Each structure stands twice: as structure tokens, then as C-alpha cells.
């Protein structure tokens, strides 16, 4: 596949780790879009796009369109021009869900995950790289959770389109206390885990204290919880 000699280098050499490529073959024109995760280096990005192209050639040889989502990169190939269409991208969502779940204070945990993802999404839309990371420490009862998250948009998306894509993606059904998950569309994606899975320090550091209080000999929740953001 001629794309192997062009697309991996174009994507990994791009400041935003995003690129397009088009080639002409005996079967007609082939169009491709590649995106690497914002914290990958040149070598890892190049390897991921190369592997994705090889897998497409091996598994989807008879298909006219293919989309591959890997942890470090995303690839789409089509015999038609790949339009910047947010609605089309959200029709092809990949969901990766961890099979382990938090056993205590699941509703509070889910709310914390949602607030962290929202904060990271807001950060992404204000950065030209369209990539952001965050971490939130949650204290509830005698439990402590450290949630890490990242979000990314294609560099072709404007601020408003990036925000629309990620918010629409995050409004799809939730994760019900899962300790980690990833949702990815062609033009945007986000992920969270209970461990530090991305490279470098988080761009956002949040702290939420939702500890129980003793009131009249009984344990009850306060009416507010405290959240801090450190940039």
C-alpha cells in the first residue's frame, strides 16, 4: 500500500499529529486521515499509523471504507473524499469499557468523572493543539480516588466544532462506575482511568472533598462539596 510510505511520516511530523493523504491506485482514489494522541512522540506515532495501515490491508482488504481506533492513534480510509462532518463521525463511535467497577459511592464517583471530563473538554477547546489532560483527587467517606483523563479533537476542528463533538460524545450513555473507559469518534475522543496513563504532568489538577459529616450522632452528607482547580 503506497500510503505506508507517506501517511505515517506526515502524521508523525505534523505539529498537531494529524494529516491527510490521497493516492491513486488501480482501484481508484484512496483517501486517508490519520491522528495520533497528543502526548505521543514521533516514533510511537509513526509506528501506530504504520500498524493501522497494515491491519487495514490485512483485515479490510475488500472494504471501501475502514476506521481503526487504537490507544495511540486513529485511522480512516475511504474510496471517497473524507469530509469534515461531525455528525458522520459521531455515527462511528468506539467504546472501550473496563470490566472493573468502583464498589463504593458510585454515584459520587460518576459525578466526579463527569466534572473532570467537562473541565478537560473546556481546556481542549482553548488550546490550538486540541489536546488536554487532567487529574482529579476525590475524597468521599474513607475512600480516595485519583481519576486521570484526556480529551482530543482533530486540529481541523474549530473551537466550536471541537466543543460540539466532545460534548455530544460525552452525552452518550455513561459508564456506571467503571474504573476506566474511552469513547472515540473520528474527529474527537476522550478517556479516563484510575491511574496516570498519559505522558507528562496533567494540565489541570482538581481536588474534590465530598467527605461525610457527623451530625447529631448520625452520618450525613454536606449540602456542598468543594472543588479546586490548579492550572
Residue 182 is predicted with a pLDDT of 92
pTM (2 d.p.): 0.83
Reported as a pLDDT band with limits 50, 70 and 90, residue 210 is low
Q: Is 152 a residue whose pLDDT tops 90?
A: yes
Angle at the Cα of 151 (from 146 to 153), degrees rounded to 5?
Answer: 175
Average pLDDT estimate for 25-39:
88
Q: Is 173 a residue whose pLDDT tops 50?
A: yes
Residue 96 is predicted with a pLDDT of 86
Q: How far apart are CA 227 and CA 138, in angstroms?
A: 9
Domain chopping of the chain, boundaries: 2-82, 94-230
Q: Which fold has domain 94-230?
A: Killer Toxin P4; Chain A (3.30.430)
Of the two residues 93 and 125, the one the predictor is more confident about is: 125
Q: Are 34 and 11 in contact (CB under 8 A)?
A: yes
Task: Examine domains 2-82 and 94-230 and report if their fold is the same.
Answer: yes
Q: Which three cell numbers stand for residue 89?
A: 463521525
Q: Is 120 a residue whose pLDDT tops 90?
A: yes
Query: 197-219 burial, b if ≥16 CB within 10 A, otherwise e?
Result: bbeeebbbebebebeeeeeeeee
Q: Is 75 a residue whose pLDDT tops 60?
A: yes
Q: Are 147 and 192 in contact (CB under 8 A)?
A: yes
Q: Is 215 a residue whose pLDDT tops 80?
A: no
CATH superfamily of 2-82: Gnk2 domain, C-X8-C-X2-C motif (3.30.430.20)
What count of Cα atoms within 13 Å lies in the side-chain half-sphere of residue 35? 23
Residue 162 is predicted with a pLDDT of 94
Q: Are 96 and 181 in contact (CB under 8 A)?
A: yes
Amino acid at each position: 500500500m503506497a500510503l505506508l510510505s507517506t501517511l505515517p511520516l506526515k502524521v508523525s511530523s505534523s505539529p498537531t499529529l494529524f494529516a491527510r493523504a490521497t493516492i491513486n491506485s488501480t482501484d481508484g482514489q484512496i483517501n486517508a486521515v490519520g491522528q495520533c494522541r497528543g502526548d505521543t512522540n514521533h516514533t510511537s506515532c509513526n509506528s501506530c499509523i504504520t500498524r493501522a495501515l497494515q491491519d487495514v490491508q490485512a483485515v479490510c482488504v475488500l472494504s471501501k471504507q475502514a476506521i481503526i481506533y487504537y490507544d495511540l492513534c486513529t485511522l480512516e480510509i475511504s474510496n471517497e473524499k473524507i469530509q469534515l462532518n461531525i455528525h458522520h463521525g459521531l455515527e462511528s463511535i468506539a467504546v472501550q469499557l473496563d470490566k472493573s467497577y468502583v464498589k463504593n459511592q458510585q454515584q459520587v464517583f460518576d459525578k466526579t468523572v463527569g466534572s473532570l471530563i467537562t473541565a478537560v473538554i473546556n481546556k481542549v477547546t482553548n488550546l490550538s493543539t486540541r489536546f488536554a489532560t487532567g487529574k482529579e483527587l476525590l475524597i468521599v467517606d474513607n475512600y480516595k480516588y485519583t481519576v486521570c483523563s484526556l480529551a482530543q479533537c482533530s486540529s481541523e476542528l474549530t473551537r466550536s466544532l471541537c466543543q460540539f463533538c466532545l460534548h455530544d460524545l460525552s452525552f452518550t450513555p455513561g459508564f456506571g462506575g467503571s474504573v476506566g473507559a474511552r469513547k472515540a469518534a473520528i474527529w474527537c475522543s476522550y478517556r479516563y482511568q484510575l491511574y496516570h496513563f498519559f505522558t507528562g504532568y496533567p494540565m489541570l489538577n482538581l481536588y474534590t472533598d465530598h467527605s461525610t459529616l457527623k451530625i447529631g450522632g448520625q452520618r450525613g452528607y454536606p449540602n456542598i462539596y468543594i472543588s479546586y482547580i490548579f492550572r
